[in-house]
Amino acid sequence: MGNADAVFYSRVLTELTLSFHIIYATIGVGVPLMIFIAQWIGIKKNDEHYILLARRWARGFVITVAVGVVTGTAIGLQLSLLWPNFMELAGNVIALPLFMETFAFFFEAIFLGIYLYTWDRFENQKKHMLLLIPVAVGASFSAFFITIVNAFMNAPQGFDVVNGELVNVQPLIAMFNPAMPTKVAHVIVTAYMTAAFVLAAIAAFRMLKGSEHIYHKKALYLTMKLGMIFSLVSAMIGDFSGKYLAEYQPEKLAAAEWHFQTEENAPLILFGIMKDGEVKYAITIPYALSILAHNNPFTEVIGLDQFPVDETPPLYIHYLFNIMVFIGMWMALLSAIFVYGSIIGWSFIRSNWFLRLIVLGGPLTILAIEAGWWLAEVGRQPWILRGYMKTEEAATSSGQVDLMLMLFAGLYLILGIGTVVVLRRMFKRNPVEKELEDRRVGMGGEIH
């Protein structure tokens, strides 16, 4: 295997691992907050359905955490095995956030264990609910620290380069780089949004299957309302991300928007295809790119003509940007219609065709998360550490990467199928109606 092959397989394996891990990581960050909100409402309203929601979500959440540990460990392993030159250069800079991420995860896992095994040990449910705060905080901080590493790769700072080595490292300056605020905020808020819409899809699916139980209706309304809130917040953060890119990574913004010539009054290009070097069938919105980049319709936006061809990101990231934005806007609209319709009594939001749209929203939001990550990673190419090291310089020269790719692909296939099988069995054996009846019998008819 030549060096070019090693680079190719290293990139494919890293992309496969990140693409698989991001599903579990997103659910892992978002679901603890949903559990906390459900339990808080249940205690506040003395409503057994919300209490049971929290309990069942927590049970399923443990499975995703377990798989997330395996895939997260794989990423750490692959950083050293596949990108040894990058780790040699930047390892001492990213060591602190990587360690802090591990610490945040263990912090979350310890309190999650205590929370799960003390469900019926507390007379006062509020005290039990407080255990969820470190779980939710630990999950979000885990995302915070690992995203800082990615932000550093996009906007490296906090060091000097002497003889090809990073020296005089200032870890805090490196961590709090210009990419950090928008990237961290976008990752965490979209995780909350995705978790809400995935849980909404499950509730809508149960209702489509004929379950008219009030439990599922409450679950659907709660998750769609939370999904709407977080989708609107993520759209605002996306706007800030555009302004960050215009300032610090203009080549990434230009490639994502197919903005080839530096110009004022820059239009925004949506959709379209590239044919013989020309953009066809696109929707062009006048002045919109200048507004996105600088909040001014007449401002100049830097185009790809300002960058060498070998430092231009692949142009297909335009499609990834469109997928991410379109799904985000669609889910914001769908959830807004559902919430507004629930308030004023529209009957069609309970119809089968509308419930199917909500079910479809679950995988769609996962797809949007994937497209966003691919956009973030591919849009940085050809750099692994922007401005300092190119991806091909960072990769291993080992001839075994293709074998590693097959082994890890097999592992992820087993883990993915295993997750679905275990979750299906877990909830099939314990339907909602049975659990509610058991709780009433066990508690003498009252909820503590």
pLDDT in tens, 114-171: 888 887 777 777 787 888 888 888 888 888 888 888 888 888 887 887 776 777 778 7
Name the pTM for this structure: 0.86
Pairing mode, strands 268-275 and 165-167: unpaired
Q: Which of 270, 272, 274 is nearest to 286 (CA)?
A: 270
- Residue pointed to by tokens 């996962």: 366
Residue 447 confidence (pLDDT) above 50: no
Phi-psi sector, 276: left (phi>0), alpha (psi -120 to 50), beta: left
Higher pLDDT, 251 or 2: 251
- Specify the pLDDT at position 436: 61
Instruction: List CB contacts of 231: < 8 A, sequence separation 6 or more.
Output: 193, 328, 331, 332, 335
Q: Cβ–Cβ contacts within 10 Å for residue 366, how many?
A: 19
Q: Cβ–Cβ contacts within 10 Å for residue 276, how many?
A: 5
**Mean pLDDT over residues 194-221, rounded?**
82
Q: Which helix (H) or strand (E) holds 265?
A: none
Alpha-carbon distances, residue 320 vs 18, 121, 189, 246, 360 (angstroms): 16, 48, 19, 18, 19
d(CA 33, CA 31): 5
Reduced to 3 states, what is the DSSP secondary structure of residue 383? strand
User: Model confidence at 444, in pLDDT bands (50, 70, 90)?
Assistant: very low
Most confident of 24-38, 239-253, 256-270: 24-38
Q: Cβ–Cβ contacts within 10 Å for residue 309, how many?
A: 6
Question: What are the sequence ranges of the domains in the chain?
Answer: 1-179+389-448, 221-248+250-379
The encoded tokens of residue 148 equal 């800082």
- Specify the pLDDT at position 378: 86
d(CA 447, CA 13): 50
Most confident of 199-203, 239-243, 263-267: 199-203
Most confident of 138-147, 201-210, 399-408: 138-147
Residue 448 confidence (pLDDT) above 60: no
d(CA 223, CA 238): 22
**Mean pLDDT over residues 24-44, rounded?**
87
Q: Which helix (H) or strand (E) holds 348?
A: none
**Mean pLDDT over residues 32-51, rounded?**
85
CB 204, CB 355: distance < 8 Å:
yes
- Specify the pLDDT at position 192: 92
Mean pLDDT of the chain: 81
Alpha-carbon distances, residue 442 vs 54, 123, 407 (angstroms): 18, 14, 47
**Mean pLDDT over residues 377-382, rounded?**
83
Q: Cβ–Cβ contacts within 10 Å for residue 97, how many?
A: 22
